[in-house]
Amino acid sequence: MSDPVGLWWDAGLEWFDRRWAARRAAELRAAVERHARLPVIPLIVQFDARLPHPAAEVWELVAGESHVTCGPDHVLGFTLPSTRGREEEVVRCCVVRAPDGAWTGRLSTQGELVEGWRDVTFALSSAHPSRSTLTLTPDGDDACVLRWDVDTEAHPGTAAREHDGLADEMRRGVARVAAALARDELDESWSVTRPCVADRHVDVEVSVEAVVQATPQAAWAVVADADRFVPVPDDRAASFSVPGSLRGEPGELVGVLLCPGQQGSTVLFWRVVALLPGRAVVWRTLSTDAAHAARREISIEPEGDGVRVCLTVREGTHPSEARSVRRRVRAGGERYLELLRAELADPLRT
């Protein structure tokens, strides 16, 4: 026979759980509504900065902490905190000079890159949210002017203190970076991300077994061994297998790789750009996904009776983009190995 006290106790606990869950949900809804009604404290801030353009470096300055990273083909970026009255987020701005000399800006909000950065809304701090506009103007061949306007109306004293404080942080940060670069002491302690120094690249050796078919047409078939898919040390990137075949005509489409992108699957087209007897063959990677900004090369070098396949990721863009590329390469390699296993298991599969 069931225990009436136990049944009563279980019913009481269930009722209490339901009441507690309902109360918690109501508190969360009320908190969201309060945050949505938070007033915006207007400020007046104007910040003009002449940003130096090192030959092949990017400076990413975290306001308030002076953290920096370096990499090719960039000028200067910095990170500002933002609340917008609801939840804290990070807005990262990076100034980029293209090979043709054109200046562009990139805005990164919570990891998503957006081209262009005019009429950007962010806040100086959680206590003083504000509306702001960032504009970028060339200043000679080796610098640009970044103008930061906070379009607000009141509290000029607070605005002046905010402006002076940020300007001082920028000056101190740039000075610290310049000194560290001069002493060659830039390391991981400057940033939460791994520094990307000029000319540094990530070489990934693909763990595959490749067979060279010595035919009169010099056709090379690259066959991967699915059991040897191994990530490289430090989790910087990952090995992956190369599909397709090489037929010896520069510019020929030789293979495809399905790689996850922002909108689903991304197709990478590899074309032969160099073919020299007994020397390395270089495949240039073309992508339908504009988010793949890092430069990559896939090289095939003869090695005994087989070949060595090497993926080189040249981090010529923001480090976060390079990390994103490596994540996609890793995921794409895993997906390709799955397809390869299925094809080997059923060669007649369409």
What is the residue extent of each domain of the chain? 45-190, 201-345
Strand partners, 77: 60, 94
* Residue-wise pLDDT tens digits, 170-181: 445 444 444 444
> What pLDDT is attached to residue 42?
26
> What pLDDT is attached to residue 6?
64
> What pLDDT is attached to residue 15?
74
Say how far apart CA 65 and CA 24 lie, in whole Å: 37
Q: Are strands 74-82 and 59-62 parallel, antiparallel or unpaired?
A: parallel
Say how far apart CA 108 and CA 102 lie, in whole Å: 20
Q: In angstroms, what CA-CA distances link 181 with 14, 127, 177, 196, 200?
A: 63, 35, 6, 13, 15
Say how far apart CA 80 and CA 97 lie, in whole Å: 21
In degrees rounded to 5, what are phi and psi of residue 50? -95, 115
Q: Are strands 220-221 and 245-246 parallel, antiparallel or unpaired?
A: antiparallel
Give the dihedral sign, CA 320/324/330/331. Answer: positive
Q: Which of 11, 113, 98 is nearest to 325 (CA)?
A: 113
| pTM assigned to the model | 0.20
Report the Cα 65 to chain-centroid distance in Å: 21
* Residue-wise pLDDT tens digits, 198-235: 222 222 222 222 222 222 222 222 222 222 222 223 22
Those residues of the chain that have pLDDT short of 70 are: 1-7, 9-10, 13, 16-17, 20-22, 24-350
Range 230-235 contact pairs with CB under 8 angstroms and sequence separation of 24 or more = 231/330, 232/204, 232/205
Secondary structure (3-state) at 110: coil
Q: In angstroms, what CA-CA distances link 303 with 203, 222, 255?
A: 17, 13, 21
> What pLDDT is attached to residue 19?
73
Q: In angstroms, what CA-CA distances link 251 with 223, 269, 296?
A: 21, 11, 17
> What pLDDT is attached to residue 28?
53
Strand partners, 115: 106
> What pLDDT is attached to residue 142?
37
Residues 6+ apart with CB under 8 A from 33: none
- For residue 54, how many C-alpha atoms fall within 13 Å in the half-sphere facing its CB? 19
